[in-house]
């Protein structure tokens, strides 16, 4: 299957057949993070320690097999100065076997420069998908306190585009409402070669601490069915737009 194949799954399975990770924990510290919530829920790593990155046993792999479909790497952590060296090594193992690699990140420009320099010979088999849920720095800083600013993410997008890599953007989760999501699309569209995915902030009442109850209510209001349907109406004919399962659940009711 190719990067833009229509898949029957939900979540990461809408994008890839295989997922890989080499790090437990993520420096971004996103308040809505499904991986942090699940790690805490199942006793793998306390939520309070999620931003402390540590390598898993997968970091020690020395070979990789050809796989059917697309491999999403990483899936539950980001690419950071902590893991960039090992990430690059493992990515090469994957690509050397002719695999298709989906690289999903809230990108740090220093890490993207490293990947551009190291992975250039496999451009045809790589798609970079950068998560940009808002272009407003204050919203990103609240929801994603350890992640790069939206400005840095857009710079990274422009850079990878200029280097000839295939590019995509994920506006999932939306950090605001329909108007703000449209603003993101307007900013990133010229530098996206493939697709722009849009999705709601999923299970916000479950994953976000109750201490942020006011922001939880605000997100629910900003991403109400009425708002989502307005967003769909505005973008339904845009050739690059793809809707995540959370949006499809609203528009297909």
pLDDT band at 64 (very low <50, low <70, confident <90, very high): very high
pLDDT of residue 28: 98
Mean pLDDT score, 162-185: 98
pLDDT band at 144 (very low <50, low <70, confident <90, very high): very high
The tally of domains found in the chain comes to 1
Is residue 12 predicted with pLDDT exceeding 80?
yes
For residue 73, the enclosing domain spans 11-251
This prediction's pTM = 0.96
| Closest listed residue to residue 250, CA positions, set 196, 202, 214 | 202
- The answer to the question of residue 72 being in a domain is yes
- The answer to the question of residue 2 being in a domain is no
What's the burial of 72, exposed, middle or buried (CB within 10 Å: 0-12/13-18/19+)? buried
- The answer to the question of residue 204 being in a domain is yes
Is residue 219 predicted with pLDDT exceeding 90?
yes
Percent of the chain clearing pLDDT 90 (strictly above): 94
What is the tens place of the pLDDT at every residue in 74-117? 999 999 999 999 999 999 999 999 999 999 999 999 999 999 99
- The answer to the question of residue 55 being in a domain is yes
- The answer to the question of residue 6 being in a domain is no
Question: Concatenated DSSP letters for 27-80?
Answer: TT--TT-HHHHHHHHTTSS-GGGTTS-EE-GGGG-------SSEEES-SSS---
- The answer to the question of residue 3 being in a domain is no
pLDDT band at 231 (very low <50, low <70, confident <90, very high): very high
- The answer to the question of residue 4 being in a domain is no
Is residue 1 predicted with pLDDT exceeding 90?
no
Percent of the chain clearing pLDDT 70 (strictly above): 100
| Kind and range of the H or E run holding 126 | strand 126-131
Q: What distance in Å separates the CA atoms of residue 232 and residue 253, rounded to the nearest whole number?
A: 13
pLDDT band at 221 (very low <50, low <70, confident <90, very high): very high
CATH number at residue 187: 3.20.20
Chain centroid to CA 150: how far?
13
pLDDT of residue 29: 98
- The answer to the question of residue 1 being in a domain is no
């Amino acid at each position: 299957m190719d990067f833009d194949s229509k898949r029957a799954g939900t979540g990461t399975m809408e994008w890839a057949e295989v997922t890989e990770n080499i790090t437990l924990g993520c420096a971004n510290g996103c308040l809505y993070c499904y991986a942090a919530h699940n790690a805490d829920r199942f006793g793998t790593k306390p939520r309070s320690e999620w931003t402390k990155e540590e390598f898993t046993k997968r970091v020690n792999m020395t070979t990789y097999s050809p796989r059917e479909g697309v491999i999403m790497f990483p899936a539950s952590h980001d690419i950071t100065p902590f893991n960039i060296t090992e990430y690059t090594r493992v990515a090469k193992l994957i690509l050397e076997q002719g695999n298709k690699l989906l690289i999903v990140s809230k990108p740090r420009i220093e890490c993207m420069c490293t990947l551009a320099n190291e992975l250039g010979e496999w451009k045809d088999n790589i798609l970079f998908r950068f998560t940009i849920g808002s272009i407003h720095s204050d919203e990103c800083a609240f929801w994603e306190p350890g992640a790069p600013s939206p400005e840095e993410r857009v710079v990274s997008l422009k850079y990878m585009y200029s280097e000839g890599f295939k590019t995509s953007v994920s506006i999932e989760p939306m950090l605001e409402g329909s108007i703000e999501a449209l603003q993101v699309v307007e900013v990133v569209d010229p530098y996206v070669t493939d697709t722009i995915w849009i999705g709601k902030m999923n299970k916000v009442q479950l994953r976000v601490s109750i201490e942020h109850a006011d922001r939880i209510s605000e997100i629910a209001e900003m991403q109400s069915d009425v708002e989502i349907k307005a967003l769909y109406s505005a973008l339904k004919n845009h050739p690059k737009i793809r809707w995540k399962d959370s949006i499809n659940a609203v528009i297909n009711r």
